[in-house]
C-alpha cells in the first residue's frame, strides 16, 4: 500500500503539495557546485578527483540497493 498525499488534510505549515524528490535535487546541485568549484580551482585533476569519488559512491550505493 502506498501513501498518497492529500492536500486538504495537510498540516498548515507544509507548503509543498507535490511529491517531488527535493533532497535528491538538492544533493545533485551540491555535487554540481563541488564539481564546478574543483574544476575552477584545481583544473582537470580536481575534476578527475571529484568524478572518481562520485563513481565509487555510486557503485557503493548500487551495491546497497541490490543487496538490500
Yes or no: say if 53 and 68 are a contact pair by the CB < 8 Å rule.
Answer: no
Assessment of whether the complete model's pTM goes beyond 0.75: no
| Alpha-carbon span 68 to 66, nearest angstrom | 6
Cell of 41: 580551482
User: What's the gap between Cα 22 and its chain centre?
Assistant: 8
What pLDDT score does 10 carry? 59
pLDDT of residue 4: 66
Q: Write down the pLDDT at residue 8.
A: 62
10 Cβ contact partners less than 8 Å away, ≥ 6 residues apart: 17
pLDDT at 16: 61
Nearest-angstrom CA–CA distance, 32 and 20: 19
> Cell numbers 535528491 correspond to what residue?
24
Residues of the chain with pLDDT under 70: 1-18
Amino acid at each position: 500500500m502506498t501513501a498518497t498525499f492529500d492536500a486538504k488534510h495537510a498540516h498548515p505549515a507544509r507548503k509543498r503539495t507535490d511529491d517531488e524528490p527535493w533532497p535528491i535535487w538538492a544533493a545533485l546541485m551540491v555535487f554540481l557546485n563541488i564539481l564546478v568549484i574543483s574544476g575552477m580551482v584545481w583544473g582537470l585533476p580536481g575534476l578527475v578527483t571529484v568524478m572518481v569519488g562520485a563513481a565509487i559512491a555510486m557503485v557503493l550505493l548500487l551495491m546497497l540497493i541490490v543487496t538490500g
